[in-house]
Structure 1
Amino acid sequence: MHRIICILAIPLFLAACATNPVTGESEFSLYGENWERQVGEQQYAPLRQAQGGDYVLDPALVDYVQRVGQSVADPADRELPYEFQVLNSSVPNAWALPGGKIAVNRGLLTELDSEAELAAVLGHEVVHAAARHSAQAASRAALAQGAVILGAVAVGAGTDNDDYTTVALLGGMIGAQLIQQRYSREAEREADYYGMRYMQLAGYDPAAAVDLQETFVRLSENRQSGWLDGLFASHPPSQERVENNRRRAEELGRGGRISRDAYRQQVAKLKRLEPAYKAHDEGRKALQDGRVDEALQKAQEALSIEDDEALFHALRGDAFATRENFGAAERAFSEALARDSSWFYHHLRRGMVREQRGNWSGARTDLQASLEMLPTADGHLHLGNVERAAGNRQQAIEHYKIAAQSDTPAGERARKRLAEMGVTEAQG
């Protein structure tokens, strides 16, 4: 079938066929390896920022996940600079960008029961990268639409105040589209089939992939909260996949490491902190619904379990900012930054409250730091406000014009600021 598609595509796209490095089959693709590597390298860091930032509270757990990931990537049919990161998000998800850039959320790690199941998840994602599945999907989208649409995504800030509702990303976040798209059934079958081989070659029992899919099907049938917005959005489970994995496990031969005790030991701290993250997530929802007192209560509940998690301090900061208690908000965001300065959000939020307090120098430093990590309309809008207040008209205009490109509340406010200054977006 792939060869037929390639033959039919020749009149429309010259040299639009490529060999799948995993299956050896010819497949339709408009994008070569250079595109894959560039997309992976350019989008990996900002996409991790947009998905919650790296998980820094337990470096030993991150190292462990990376070791397991490299062990299943070593036997892959395609040599790539594979990288693995754990993201600080409760959404149970894992994804792969082109070029071998892979991430798994802490919310998924708490649902797994063994190192072999982790190997199954990461082996599956390795195949997506090795087999060029993202490039194939992007090619199909380009053929259907005439071009790849580089939309934007938003990071929820979890409050009801206009200034604290969403953080609108700027730029061509093609990476966001690539990890949010649903893979074809054939791509999912390939990722399951060859991922089990990779995990077996790494020394794991491929039967763990059967247990994993059975768990996913059960969670899907129960419509477990969070799952439908996470892993199931791009990797829909099915009983068919369970049976396919069971046949594949018999074909490969059962046996190998399961390592339940080792896995449980590695995730022990994360499991201990589950009530704290649950309180945090409930606090975020309360803040979004305007229940500020409850949000503060939930933040304190989370902090009483783990004071070193920056997210919990940031929740307090957002709640205080919603109350317009900007002094307390700044202190809370400073506490967050003292624990994790690697996530743009903490810099952005402290910069915003420092702007409210008239601390132009401090706000500028924070907002510039946030933009270096992740370009956002909000960052440019508020940096424009700072420069305008400081009397730097041209710099303010430049930042407003960037923010004005966004079709979001931040973009609308930037356009109003430009109009107030007598500047049209087309003017320099």
Structure 2
Amino acid sequence: MKTLKYMAIILSLAFIIYGCSVNPVTGKREFMIFTDEQEINFGKEADPDIQWQFGGVYNDQQLSAYVETVGQKTASVSDRNKIPYHFKIVDTSDINAFALPGGYIYITRGLLVRLENEAQLSAVLGHEIGHVNARHSMKRMQNTLGFQVLLAILDQAASGSKSYQEWRGLVKTGSSVAFAAVSLGYGRENEFEADALGTKYASRAGYDPQGMVQLLQLLKNLSEREPSSIELFFMSHPKTSDRIKKVNEEIAKLPPQNQKGVVNQDDYKSKVSDLLIVQKAYEHYDKGEEFRSKGNYSQAINEYNQALSIRNIAKAHYGIGRVYSAQGKYDQAISEYKATLRIDPGFVFAHNSMGIAYMNLRQYDNAVTSFKKAASLYENFDDAWANLGEAHYHLKQYTDGIKALDMALTLNAEHPRAYTTLGLCYEATGDKQKAITAYEQAIKVAPKESYTETARQRLSELKKS
């Protein structure tokens, strides 16, 4: 009873302290249990997960610097211009842009090649800045798991726990919710508000506010010509004609001097000129991925090679490597993964896939090196930790294996292979009861996984002994 009373008092104090937050856009008081600092820290922690969910950051420093410049110029005149903003290009042909809490804003390579001028770029970044300013993403987070997160933080603070794994698990949970918010959008009214704010911020930054109208018209045209390319974007947004009407109403409200501004079409075309060439290579890569996913390997390799004939892009080598791995040609796969990493040393999935190829060749020391690199580049990569644990098991490094597998299961409590390998490690160290528990969990969370058959066999043997 005392514990419940204590927690109730803490929660009540939290509500009083955070419940008086003022929305910087509307000026109205609203209930928020997260401070600006917590919001910024959450965005920082979730950023790697979101990056890799969308294929990683596009590797072009000059273009990235250009997007960052336009983004910072637009954010500097926003209602929350005191928080740090980060603008990143994610390496996917999908047409999208999205934001995390705390100023982390992303635009896809696929959308950049479709835009026509800098005013449109400011408009789309301004729209995402608007989501951050109005705290749309943080409100979604708060509504979905705010109390759970708060209680978890209080619990760790009260117990003095500073477990790195517990913290990473908490971050992974939050990142999953953030990814869902990014994918599903914020609802009709929030999107209208972000359009209005983006129009205002772009205008304040000196851009023609018609850039927002042009952007929306461009997206509308794309949805009619190539519906599959923009399906995700429109799934979560209001009807485009309604958005255009409301944006024009917002422009009419602007001071006369702000109703016109720069467009910078020539500058924009110059900045994205190389991307327009590279995108042709990615079109072949995307086709290669479609063929590979269907098992049409010869056609996939043909598309990847056509991509490479246009530009030596890392992902085309990675695609060829994955085909070779699927065909059991592990030495050739490793050669392609190495080619991938010579172009992009930070490409996490190539390190992980190369480790798997080494495992199949029983080169476990090399596999450990690859998996460690993948996990160091992307700490929340549960597969890399599970694979690392398996490599340690084969090397009879059971303590290291258990540590890696515990991390994998902290990040993903239903990982299909980690419990089985964990059971093998415990069994090898003579801890029969922990091995039994791990095998039972493997059967519970992944009953149809082929790897789980090992758990069933070992569990049966242990229970007989």
TM range (shorter): 0.7 to 0.9
Corresponding position: 1:186 with 2:192: no
**Cα offset, 1:249, TM superposition:** 2.0
Q: Which residue of 1 aligns with 2:341?
A: 337
AA matched with 1:189: F
Corresponding position: 1:218 with 2:231: no
Corresponding position: 1:257 with 2:262: yes
- My pick for the range that moved more, 384-393 or 214-223, is 214-223
Q: Which residue of 1 aligns with 2:102?
A: 99
From 382, 388, 393, the equivalent of 2:387 is 382
Secondary structure of 2:417's aligned partner: helix
Greater relative contact order (Cα 8 A, min sep 6): structure 1 or 2? 1
Alignment of 1:17-416 (within 5 A): 17-56=20-59, 58-78=60-80, 79-142=82-145, 147=148, 171-172=172-173, 173=175, 174-222=177-225, 224-229=227-232, 231-252=233-254, 253=256, 254-307=259-312, 309-374=313-378, 375-404=380-409, 406=412, 411-416=415-420
Mapped to 1, the partners of 2:274 and 2:142 lie a distance apart of 42
Equivalent pairs: percent with the same residue?
A: 30
AA matched with 2:76: D
Mapped to 1, the partners of 2:385 and 2:33 lie a distance apart of 34
AA matched with 2:422: L
The root-mean-square deviation of aligned C-alpha atoms, in Å, is 2.5
Q: Which residue of 2 aligns with 1:157?
A: none
Mapped to 2, the partners of 1:175 and 1:366 lie a distance apart of 29
Q: Which residue of 1 aligns with 2:156?
A: none
AA matched with 2:21: A
Distance 1:426 1:389, change over 3 A: closer
Secondary structure of 2:416's aligned partner: helix
Structure 2 unaligned residues grouped into runs of 5+: 1-11, 151-170, 428-434, 440-465
AA matched with 1:287: R
- My pick for the range that moved more, 351-360 or 78-87, is 351-360
Mapped to 1, the partners of 2:267 and 2:327 lie a distance apart of 45
Work out which of the two has the higher radius of gyration on C-alpha atoms and give 1 or 2. 2
**Cα offset, 1:368, TM superposition:** 0.8
Question: In the alignment, is the contact (CA less than 8 A) between 2:130 and 2:197 conserved in 1?
Answer: yes
**Cα offset, 1:260, TM superposition:** 1.4
**Cα offset, 1:184, TM superposition:** 2.7
- My pick for the range that moved more, 25-34 or 384-393, is 25-34
Q: Which structure shows the higher helix fraction?
A: 2
TM-score normalised according to structure 2 size: 0.78
C-alpha deviations, 1:125-153, integer Å up to 9, x for none? 1111122111222233348xx7479xxxx
C-alpha deviations, 1:68-118, integer Å up to 9, x for none? 111101111111101111111111111111111111110110111111000
Secondary structure of 1:358's aligned partner: coil
AA matched with 1:255: K
Mapped to 2, the partners of 1:16 and 1:53 lie a distance apart of 36
TM-score normalised according to structure 1 size: 0.85
Question: In the alignment, is the contact (CA less than 8 A) between 1:44 and 1:175 conserved in 2?
Answer: no
Mapped to 1, the partners of 2:94 and 2:201 lie a distance apart of 26
Secondary structure of 1:171's aligned partner: helix
**Cα offset, 1:12, TM superposition:** 12
Mapped to 1, the partners of 2:314 and 2:73 lie a distance apart of 31
Question: In the alignment, is the contact (CA less than 8 A) between 2:126 and 2:198 conserved in 1?
Answer: yes
Question: In the alignment, is the contact (CA less than 8 A) between 1:401 and 1:425 conserved in 2?
Answer: no
Distance 1:260 1:20, change over 3 A: same
